[in-house]
């Protein structure tokens, strides 16, 4: 880890902390919630060894990057703008792109809006969902799962932060990362995260040192920046109306664990395997479902995920 370089880059009116290592064709890794650049630590080292320039920022709102106070500053357009400015600052014209969770959502939209900056995409966990012109996304989740669904619970500024504050940060991080329940996460207000049972013992792929790293950063920064991505979902829906109906025309591969909550949302498996995703991402070349693997697949199965990514990017 000591070989990884850390820099601060000014882009789109904010400062982003960027971790990078290696030289060669550039790969940009995008994390999700509640993650940091650190979630890609093993891939950074592996791809540097394979002859790539591996780059992983803390996205706006996270870690050592700036956190604008308003949730209105966290639309997908803001974050894609951050990344375009980041590439410009690094002198990178076109990049191999890898996303996970919210990073996957941002990666899909970067390929939609700026396909000229992306050579190829490997996205994980979250499929591309075309914009529904008649239903805002938070409203759709509420109709599907009810008001206790975690995305709905995250909407009110300050409310879930108060809940999180009543739980030891290490326990909270452990609980997020080690969940193996593929069902929809619904947290009644009367229970809250504070009322959930203690998480199990750490799995082999997640060490006390790892948990401490995350806990220290989130204790310093707080969770509001990451939560603001959820609070900007409906605003992103409004602002992306000009791209409604467009296909994503970048060579792509999609990877998901079969225990991932995203893979078990009703209709998602059919959408992926019966042609729905391919309709909207026509250059989708591969879909990989990793058996017995949960949401944080790049940490749970780092070598396998690296092999899947390298096997695809090495074609270009």
Q: What is the DSSP string of 186-228?
A: B--TTTTGGGSPPP-PPPTTS-HHHHHHHHHHHHHH-SHHHHH
11: how many CB neighbours lie within 10 A of its CB?
22
Rounded Cα distance between 76 and 73, Å, is 9
pLDDT digits (tens, 9 = 90+) for 61-101: 999 999 999 999 999 999 999 999 999 999 999 999 999 99
Instruction: Check which CATH number belongs to the domain holding 128 and give it.
Output: 3.40.50.1820
Please choose, from the candidates 124, 81, 79, 74, the residue with its C-alpha nearest in 3D space to the C-alpha of residue 101: 124
Is 109:36 a contact under the CB 8 Å cutoff?
Answer: no
SS3 95: strand
Q: What was the pLDDT predicted at 197?
A: 84
Q: What was the pLDDT predicted at 212?
A: 97
DSSP for residue 58 = P
pLDDT digits (tens, 9 = 90+) for 121-167: 999 999 999 999 999 999 999 999 999 999 999 999 999 999 999 99
Please tell me the chain's helix, strand, coil percentages from 3-state DSSP, rounded to the nearest 5: 45, 15, 40
Residue 101: active-site member: yes
Alpha carbons within 13 A on the beta-carbon side of 1: 9
SS3 274: coil
Tell which phi-psi region holds residue 12, choosing left (phi > 0), alpha (psi between -120 and 50) or beta.
left
Q: Which one is catalytic: 100, 280, 295, 308?
A: 295
Tell which phi-psi region holds residue 16, choosing left (phi > 0), alpha (psi between -120 and 50) or beta.
beta
Q: Which one is catalytic: 35, 64, 66, 101?
A: 101
Q: What was the pLDDT predicted at 194?
A: 87
Rounded Cα distance between 310 and 299, Å, is 16
Rounded Cα distance between 203 and 162, Å, is 28
Q: What was the pLDDT predicted at 2?
A: 72
How many independent structural domains does the chain possess? 1
Residue 295: active-site member: yes
Please choose, from the candidates 69, 71, 32, 67, the residue with its C-alpha nearest in 3D space to the C-alpha of residue 156: 71
Element at 99 (helix H, strand E): strand 95-100
Q: What was the pLDDT predicted at 175?
A: 93
Structural domain range at position 140: 5-314
Question: What's the average pLDDT block by block, 10 residues per block, for the chain (316 residues)?
Answer: 92 98 98 98 98 98 98 98 98 98 98 98 97 96 97 97 95 93 93 87 95 97 98 98 97 98 97 98 98 97 98 97
**Which tokens in the block code for residue 76?**
């997908």
Place of tokens 């996304």: 137
Place of tokens 């009703």: 266
DSSP for residue 231 = H
Residue 210: active-site member: no
Q: Which one is catalytic: 62, 230, 260, 263?
A: 230
Q: What was the pLDDT predicted at 195?
A: 87
pTM assigned to the model: 0.98
Is 212:81 a contact under the CB 8 Å cutoff?
Answer: no
Name beta bridge partners: 29: 98
């Amino acid at each position: 880890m000591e070989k990884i370089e850390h820099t601060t880059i000014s882009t789109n009116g904010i400062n982003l902390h960027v971790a990078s290592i290696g030289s060669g064709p550039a790969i940009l890794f995008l994390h999700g919630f509640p993650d940091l650049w650190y979630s890609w630590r093993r891939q950074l080292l592996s791809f540097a060894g394979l002859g790539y320039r591996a780059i992983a920022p803390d996205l706006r709102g996270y870690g050592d990057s700036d956190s604008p106070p308003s949730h209105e500053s966290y639309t997908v357009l803001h974050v894609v703008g951050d990344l375009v400015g980041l590439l410009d600052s690094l002198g990178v014209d076109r990049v191999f792109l890898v996303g996970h969770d919210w990073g996957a959502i941002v990666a899909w939209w970067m390929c939609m809006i700026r396909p000229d900056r992306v050579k190829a995409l490997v996205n994980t966990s979250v499929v591309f969902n075309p914009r529904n012109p008649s239903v805002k996304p938070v409203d759709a989740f509420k109709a599907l799962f009810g008001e206790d669904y975690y995305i709905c619970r995250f909407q009110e500024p300050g409310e879930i932060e108060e809940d999180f504050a009543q739980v030891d940060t290490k326990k909270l991080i452990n609980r997020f990362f080690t969940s193996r329940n593929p069902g929809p996460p619904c947290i009644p207000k009367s229970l809250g995260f504070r009322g959930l049972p203690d998480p199990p013992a750490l799995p082999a792929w997640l060490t006390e040192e790892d948990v401490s790293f995350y806990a220290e950063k989130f204790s310093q920064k707080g969770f509001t920046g990451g939560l603001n991505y959820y609070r900007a979902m409906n605003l992103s829906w409004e602002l992306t109306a000009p791209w409604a109906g467009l296909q994503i025309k970048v060579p792509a591969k999609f990877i998901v664990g079969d225990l991932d909550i995203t893979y078990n949302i009703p209709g998602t498996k059919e959408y992926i395997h019966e042609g729905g995703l391919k309709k909207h991402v026509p250059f989708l070349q591969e879909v990989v479902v990793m058996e017995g693997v949960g949401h944080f697949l790049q940490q749970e199965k780092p070598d396998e995920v690296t092999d899947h990514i390298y096997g695809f990017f090495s074609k270009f």
